[in-house]
Each structure stands twice: as C-alpha cells, then as structure tokens.
Chain A
C-alpha cells in the first residue's frame, strides 16, 4: 500500500527549477532513503509534502490525500524532523516538546520520559543555550514520542554524536518493527545502508535512481587486487573491467558485479598468487552518481 507518492512533482522559484518531475513512492512499513548532493532538492520536496511550499505542477499525496489541500488532516498522522532546528530562545526544551506533541493531537507522556532518558536530554534548559545536537534532540523526541503513521526526517542526525546516532537508529528500527513508514533524507550513507529498504537518488532536481539496496548493489563494482605468476593479457579489454592500475606484478581494478564470474575465470589462467577483494560499497555508487554530469547544483 502506498503511503506517500509524488507524481511529476515540479517546483520553480522564479526562473530556477528546483524540482523537475520528481516521482517518489513510499510503501507502508518501508524506510525510504532520500539522498542526493547539497542543493539537489531534498528539503524542497519534503517541504512540499508538508504543505509548506506549493507545488508548481504535479501532485504530492500522503495517505491518498493532497499534501497541500489536506495538510491538517495529514499532519495528524505524521511526524516531522527538520535538519535545521530553529527553536524559540526563551522556551525550554521540555516546553517545546510538549507543544509539538500537543499541536499534533495525541500524546504519550510515558514515551516522552523514556525518550528523554534514552537521548540523555535535559528538558529544563532554555532553547537558546542548547547545542545543535541538543536542538535536534528536541525535534527527534517530539517526533518519536508521537504515535504517527509516517515519519518524515530531513537530515535528522547531522548534529548527533555517534552514541546518539545509534539511539536514533534503534528508534527507527523500532518504528519499522511496528510497521510505520519513514522517509529519511540523509548524507550519512552508512545510516542509509543500515536502515533503508529502498533508496531514491536525486540530483539537480531530478530523480536519477530508485530501487532496493539489493538492486542498487547490482549496479556497483567490486574492487579487486590481484597478483599473478604471468602478466595478464588484455585485462583492459575484458567486459566490465574498469580503472586498471598496474604495479609490477600487481593489478588493482574494479569489476561490475554481474561480470565478476567471467573476469575471475579469465585471470585464473595466469596463476593467481594473491587475490583481495573489497565488497561493493554503496558509497562508490553514490559518489559516481553525485559526481557525474556537469558539476553540482547551486
């Protein structure tokens, strides 16, 4: 069942096209990773989904309702964490958490206390004195202590320490176990790799790749380091071999995952002395996607 979907979603700011026909689909019980370089349009997409910005064209739906027209209805069932958490300097963290939970509707006090403890957070301080990470905790605690169906998280962990990052990941795993859906925008690829079922990559306002992690891994390359008794002949001409670097008798290169079998068969003819392989890193795939094309967005 689709919880969130955008179809041909387009947004322009004056002459600048921030989003160009973006299609996203998040299903129930799924954690969807939304990644892309700075200025790609992640936050813009999310703010349209929240009904804060109005789409120029295309549609954005959550729970089958229009994100702009039915914003209030939708917001009763979602929780949101922004990347830049600006809070009111003279309210305390505890007050802001209560306010946020109350503005949504339902409220679980027990959950709030438990989360405050887990995130090791002092709710009695004024917001102006909180560090960046602590401001983010305010938004995270408010979001996780609400009983929502969909969680929209826009770079929620950019200020958290590794310990808190783990608490965050546990909380998301809990949500997944409860069958909740999550839209997670993030620059921390290990986090995406660990948590997300499906990933969408956006660059310069266009979706350039979508799929499960498994599908994306297919697109990745394995790094090999080989030493052979005799020099390998025509290694460069083999299907699926990239970036060959030769040093004395050692070769280091990358192989497309689907061509691995043929390549190994070929090089084993030359008497393998040493073979090291590095697993296909999602990071490399992302890097390639981020870098390709004519430079980054503004």
Chain B
C-alpha cells in the first residue's frame, strides 16, 4: 500500500539511528543517571519525615509554584511526591529540548543542506524520511519512558510504586513525543532549520510560562499547556493516567498534521513563498559587523520578545507572593535564613540568577554562529576579502556582548516594571534591575569561553552549552541538593554577589572581568592561528 509514500522507511530509520548512535545514547544515559542519582540523593538528604515536611513548608509559596510547578501531596511529602514535584517539570523541559534538537537535525537541517534531495532521488517514499525520523524519536521516547519507569521502581525507594514510576516515565516519554510532533510541524512550516528550532523552542517556553502563570493564579490556564497536562498526572500522589494519554493523543495529531503538510509541499521549500528582495545592499549590510548582525537579526528580536515575556510572567507573580507572605508572617522566621532580608528579596535574587543564565543563551548563540558559518564554508567569502580574522571575530564578540546586555536588561526591566506595579509596597525598580545586571560579568565569562573554543577547538565549541547546563543545575538546584561548595564554585554564576540579599562585591566582579579578558585574548590568538575549514 502507498509504496510511493512509505517505501524503505525501515532502512532509513536504521540509517538515522546509525548517524545518532552516539547522540541518542548520550542523551538517554544522562537523563537516566541524572534522574536516578537525584531520587537516591533525596533519601540520603531528607531521610526523616520531619525533614521532608520542613522542605514542603518552604515549597508552599507562589514563587516556588511558578518555578517548579504545583505541589501535590505536600501534606504528606513522600519521596515520590518530592520527586514529581521537584524534578518532573525540569526533566520534561530537558526531554522537550532533546526531541526538538534531534528531530530538527534529521528533517529541516538535512533538507537545508541538500541531503534529503539525495535520499529522495532514491526509490524511497515521499514521507519516508520524515516518518523514519519520527519513528526513531518515538522509539527513543519509549525507551526513555520504560528506562526511567522501571529504573525508578527498581531503586526500591519507599513510596515509589511501580504504577507511579511507570507513570513518571510515561509522562516524560509523552511530552518528548509531543515536542517531536511540534518540531515536525514547524519543520514543514519554516524554511530553515534555525526557524524550525526557534519556533519549537518558543512553544516550549510559552508552555512553561502559561503553566507558571496558571499554577499561581488560575488553574484552568495551566490546562492550555502540555507541561501543565503532565504535571496534572499528580505522579506518585494520585497517579492519573489520563493526562498522559491526552498528551500522547495530541502528539499523534501533530505528527499526522506534519506528515500531511509534508506530503503536499515541495522539498526544500516552506509554505511561505520567497518574495523578491533588495537589488542593492543597504549601507549597513556592507561590513562584517553588518553582515553578522543581519544574519542574527531575527533570532535577536525573537529572543528579546521572549525575554520580555519571561520578565512580565515572573513579575506578575510578585503580587501573589507579597500577599502570601503578608498572610503568614511566621514563615519568615521559619525559613528566612538571612536576617533583615525579606523572602521577596530572596526570591528576586534567585530569579535573577536563572534569568541571567537564560540571557546567556542568545549571547553564546552569536559566537557559535561564527563556527556554523565556517562549517557552511561561508566564512571563507569574508576572509578572502580585505577582512582580518580579528575584525571578523570582534564583530561577533561585539554583538554577543551587546546581546547579553540587552537580553538581561529586557527581562529584568520588564520584570521590575511589572513587579513594581503589582506590589503594594515592595522593592524598587532599581533593586530588581541591579540584581540582574550584576550578572553581566558571568555572562562575559561564558562568552569568553565560547570565543576561546571557537578560536582553538571549534569542533568542541558545543561544550559551552554543557557548561551552561552545569551552571544551571548547580545554581538552580544547588540549595535543594546541598552540593559541596566547590561544585557550585566551578560556575561563574556562583561567584556573582546575589543582590539584594548579599552585598556588592567589586573584587569578585573584577576578577571575573579579568578572567574574561584573558579568555578573549587567548581566543583571538587561536582564531588568528588556525585553519579555517570549509
């Protein structure tokens, strides 16, 4: 049946698996190890029921709800309830990222590079490649669901039943497949892989934010977010399977729609036709800096909009937070470890560390763009003309520094403005803004590392993402897991004074700046010395 659509899907799937023979196992293993280690560490960190109950108390506020999702079973905070409350959302977002990146690679990116055309010239069906990619990811998500499900059960932790553990895994698998569907769809609509990835990440981010606002203020709203669905499974507490089925069903609808669109469109094109453009380059475009900026323009604008959304979403939480803390004054004594500092301030400080790390992403993307340009043999066009390597790298560096500053300002600014508006008498706008902007040196260090890698080891430049991910885990989850100090200190973000809770520390900030200068200088030297590959 329909040979012209599905022919040789099996062979193609195996071929894709072979291309991903390292990538997929690394993702899966990291997720397994991460999940199991965390489940284990809960038992050693919070062995007694009182410990867990004390932790539950600190979780019982709108700020935490916005960050990690609503807590279920807080009155009886078992290990299972803890796991689902603290880790499910965070892991689900990671699984979403995995699916977006893996699927885009084999669909739009392969099409953009002309590889699909080669495949399509062979006797394979029109849908075969897309179907094969989806099948590979479906298998990956099933493996993930079963691995996590049985793995958690086998750990034999009290309160982690087989049913609950399987549900935990299934929720992750379902959300993963949902984002495979989302990406498959955008791979049809957008003409570039960057566009497809960007739009898919937007869906992920918006899902997170809708859920955050919904969980804090209006539960119905959360049901408009796929992340809200899987949290609604109340894993290890009530173990509802329906939300997971809903997610899976929605994924199948998305996949079907993507396949349909794929079957009716031309290879290499999207659904929006190309319009004729300019005959002449604008004066702005005619320099390496102008070119780099032009190439990154859409991404920068999209990120800026996203940062404002994040800022407004989190800012709006502060109103609820304030009234919540006013109602229970006692809590301040209970968990306010720093005297003279309000919980609102503590939350603001914590939030800014997360926002600064998110702002680092677009800055790193700018630097790594230079490497992807090189890989596509386009850097050669620029360097073959009267442009020095220093000038080229400096153009990208300048944009990265600018982007880092703009992004954190956008997020902190909109957060500050919203928070000031919704709070009766709270922190000033300046407090919010300075709490964020103090993170700039950490963003610079990350940018410096990216420049260093692009200069010396372009193929390893992806490690920058790993380092940022590490920073995120140790800073975001550091408190919960009580990591040793040095674990946190390996991240530049841990050395930034947390305003307004801590005092400004010019010494630390200057040292980070000096480290940045050293990294940058080394990166420039490396870039001036090495081969540019095409």
Contact = CB atoms under 8 A, between A and B. Distances in A.
Interface in B264-314: 274, 276-282, 285-288, 291, 294-295
Given A99-B286, A102-B281, A124 B276 contact: yes
Nearest to A81: B384
B504 interface: no
Contacts of A128: 191, 274
Nearest to B388: A72
B531 A52 contact: yes
Interface in A127-168: 128-129, 139
A87 B378 contact: yes
B385 interface: yes
Contacts of B386: 72-73, 75-76, 103-105
B380 interface: yes
Interface residues of B, number: 35
Nearest to A139: B381
Contacts of A71: 383, 388
Nearest to B277: A92
Contacts of A188: none
Contacts of B276: 92, 124-125
A297 interface: no
B291 A94 contact: no
B280 A54 contact: no
B376 interface: yes
A95 B287 contact: no
A183 interface: no
Contacts of B384: 50, 52, 75, 80, 82
Interface string A96-117: 1111101111000000000000
A54 B294 contact: no
A52 B383 contact: yes
A94 B277 CA distance: 9
A86 interface: yes
A51 B385 contact: no
A287 interface: no
B385 A75 contact: yes
Interface string B157-188: 00000000000000000000000000000000
A31 B140 CA distance: 57
Given A86-B376, A95-B280, A51 B383 contact: yes
Nearest to B379: A52
B529 interface: yes
A134 B52 CA distance: 68
Contact of A53 (B274, B279, B378, B531): B531
Nearest to B383: A52
Nearest to A106: B386
Contacts of B112: 89
Given A82-B380, A125-B276, A125-B277, A54 B530 contact: yes
Given A94-B278, A95-B282, A124-B277, 5 more contacts: A82-B380, A92-B276, A98-B285, A99-B281, A103-B382
16 contacts: A54-B530, A54-B531, A72-B386, A72-B388, A80-B384, A82-B377, A82-B381, A86-B378, A91-B277, A94-B279, A95-B282, A97-B281, A99-B285, A100-B381, A126-B277, A139-B381
